């Protein structure tokens, strides 16, 4: 079925449903030489959930990690939040584009699994919502690979479209409508559905994109990334915290100018996956996919750079005296280090102020906690961190003052081991890193760091509430 026919099918609805893929896949030619790796028997690895904005983000930014996982025979569920419609206004052309992307990633995963490109429709119900899903169905191979599509709008790089994830995240929209399917998603509903998908998968880890970048636009210079990448990753991180599933994040567009860091062998493997993806994306438009070979021509500029790179975003450990937030931030104007520290204002007009700034090793970012529960700047031990509704500041220490008494409440997950604390004050209010305070534009110099606030501690483990403290 050509992409045009599939697009018409999508417009007609359930009455016209394309059959599952049944073509022999790109991996079948290699089955005999790798059969031992996929022999039937108990698995030796945990299930992975890959959570990205749209099809091909996984192939270019989280590979070769996904390929290694699939090739090892490990179960992999990939969840795509958006359809990747790229804001196309013509409905038919948008449906064709989305279909080609999906067809391409199915072929790519079949290649990574060394399996036939044969898939069966296997929708899942997540928090009462039927979510479109496909299972790799080569029964001759020991594969456990599933691709699931929530079909939201990608909203364009800057998130300017009305139904973008960014508008949901920053509160300018209370709900958004999907690109395909009916109904709408509030943020709570979206998080509930994604949480249900993670639970259903039984995932022991989540791989996602860069949840620290806050400058949203298109560009290959290294300072910006797409809004659906960054906001989608923030939602997957929030779900990981709530469920106690470890989250690993990977750079997207911002890795483009960084040094190539994959070995020649890894780059060749990543290149092969990309070429299967592109070949099937192209042949889907003409209905000539029966015996298609990997794409042989030159890759477009950004793809040709990405196949030599994969950068996991790793937050460094706190240094002595630092109170380092779990919410990192990078923007067009900052370096690539996302570390954000509790910072005491110094000198007029900042004296007495406390905020969050990029970690710089200065004395203004060194703190001590006393036996009396006070938190004091090392360079001004006569001042104490003070809860001042609705913010936080520094005031002269007053023995026994409830507003200056703080408690460190440790991270408690038994499935995700980490050393971090909530910092709780009076009236069950905690230090909170407000990640929704984003730069208004990608080139805005304001809001280079999250905003420090007091918020109810609650019972759910939110990333905005956790800090790591260097002794």
Summarised one tens digit per residue, pLDDT across range 46-62 is: 899 999 999 999 999 99
Dist. CA 58–CA 72, nearest whole Å: 17
Q: Is the pLDDT of residue 348 over 70?
A: no
CA distances from 120 to 25, 226, 465 (A): 14, 31, 41
Dist. CA 346–CA 349, nearest whole Å: 8
Which of the four pLDDT bands, split at 50, 70 and 90, describes residue 285?
Answer: confident
Which of the four pLDDT bands, split at 50, 70 and 90, describes residue 166?
Answer: very high
Taking only the tens place, the pLDDT of each residue in 335-344 is: 889 999 999 9
Non-local CB neighbours of 452 within 8 Å, separated by 6+ positions: 342, 354, 355, 356, 391, 392, 431, 432, 433, 434
Domains present along the chain, CATH in parentheses: 3-313 (3.40.50.10320), 323-469 (2.80.10.50)
DSSP 128: T
Taking only the tens place, the pLDDT of each residue in 232-241 is: 999 999 999 9
Among 35-44, 82-91, 331-340, the least confident range: 35-44
Q: Is the pLDDT of residue 15 over 50?
A: no
Per-residue pLDDT, averaged over 403-412, amounts to: 97
pTM over 0.95: no
Q: Is the pLDDT of residue 288 over 90?
A: no
Taking only the tens place, the pLDDT of each residue in 137-158 is: 998 888 999 999 999 999 999 9
Which of the four pLDDT bands, split at 50, 70 and 90, describes residue 25?
Answer: very low
CB of 433 closer than 8 Å to CB of 450: yes
Q: Give the pLDDT score at 189.
A: 98
Per-residue pLDDT, averaged over 183-197, amounts to: 97
Q: Is the pLDDT of residue 350 over 60?
A: no
Taking only the tens place, the pLDDT of each residue in 203-214 is: 999 999 999 999
Taking only the tens place, the pLDDT of each residue in 352-397 is: 899 999 999 999 999 999 999 999 999 999 999 999 978 899 999 9
Helix, strand, coil percentages in the chain from 3-state DSSP, rounded to 5: 30, 25, 50
Per-residue pLDDT, averaged over 242-264, amounts to: 98
Q: Is the pLDDT of residue 10 over 70?
A: no
Nearest to 332 by CA among 445, 451, 211: 445
Highest mean pLDDT among 24-38, 247-261, 335-349: 247-261
Tokens of 93: 């052309």
Per-residue pLDDT, averaged over 81-95, amounts to: 89
Residues forming a β-bridge with 131: 124
Dist. CA 263–CA 376, nearest whole Å: 47
Dist. CA 142–CA 24, nearest whole Å: 16
Which of the four pLDDT bands, split at 50, 70 and 90, describes residue 44?
Answer: low
DSSP 26: T
């Amino acid at each position: 079925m050509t992409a045009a026919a599939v697009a018409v099918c999508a417009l007609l609805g359930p009455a016209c449903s394309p059959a599952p893929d049944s073509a022999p896949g790109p991996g079948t030619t290699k089955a005999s030489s790798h059969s031992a790796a996929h022999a039937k028997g108990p698995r030796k690895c945990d299930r992975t959930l890959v959570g990205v904005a749209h099809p091909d983000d996984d192939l270019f930014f989280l590979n070769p990690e996904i390929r290694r996982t699939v090739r090892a025979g490990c179960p992999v569920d990939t969840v795509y939040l958006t359809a990747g419609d790229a804001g196309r206004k013509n409905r038919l052309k948008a449906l064709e584009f989305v279909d080609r992307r999906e067809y391409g990633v199915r072929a790519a995963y079949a290649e990574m699994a060394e399996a036939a490109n044969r898939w069966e429709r296997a929708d899942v119900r997540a928090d009462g919502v039927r979510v479109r899903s496909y299972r790799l169905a080569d029964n001759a191979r020991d594969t456990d690979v599933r691709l699931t599509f929530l079909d939201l709008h990608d909203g364009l790089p800057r998130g300017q479209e009305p139904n973008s994830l960014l508008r949901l995240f920053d509160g300018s929209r209370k709900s958004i409508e999907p690109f395909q399917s009916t109904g709408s998603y509030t943020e709570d509903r979206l998080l509930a559905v994604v949480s249900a998908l993670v639970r259903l998968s039984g995932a022991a880890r989540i791989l996602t994109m860069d949840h620290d970048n806050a400058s949203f636009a298109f560009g290959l210079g290294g300072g910006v990334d797409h809004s659906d990448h960054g906001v989608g990753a923030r939602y997957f991180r929030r779900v990981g915290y709530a469920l106690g599933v470890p989250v690993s994040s990977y750079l997207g567009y911002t890795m483009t100018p960084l040094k190539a860091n994959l070995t020649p062998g890894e780059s060749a493997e990543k290149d092969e996956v990309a070429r299967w993806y592109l070949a099937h994306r192209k042949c889907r438009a003409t209905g000539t996919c029966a015996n298609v070979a990997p794409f042989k021509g030159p890759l477009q500029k950004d793809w040709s750079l990405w196949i030599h790179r994969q950068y996991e975003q790793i937050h460094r450990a706190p240094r002595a005296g630092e109170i380092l937030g779990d919410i990192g931030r990078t923007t067009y104007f900052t370096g690539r280090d996302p570390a954000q520290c509790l910072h005491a204002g110094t000198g007029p007009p900042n004296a007495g102020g406390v905020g969050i700034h990029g970690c710089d090793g200065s004395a203004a970012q060194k703190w001590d906690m006393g036996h009396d529960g006070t938190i004091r700047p090392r360079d001004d031990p006569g001042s104490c961190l003070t809860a001042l509704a609705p913010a936080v500041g520094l005031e002269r220490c007053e023995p026994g003052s409830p507003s200056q008494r703080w408690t460190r409440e440790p991270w408690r997950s038994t499935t995700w081991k980490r050393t971090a604390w909530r910092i709780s004050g009076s009236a069950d209010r905690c230090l909170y890193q407000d990640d929704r305070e984003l730069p208004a534009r990608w080139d805005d110099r304001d809001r280079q760091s999250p905003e420090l606030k007091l918020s109810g501690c609650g019972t759910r483990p939110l990333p905005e509430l956790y800090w790591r403290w260097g002794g």
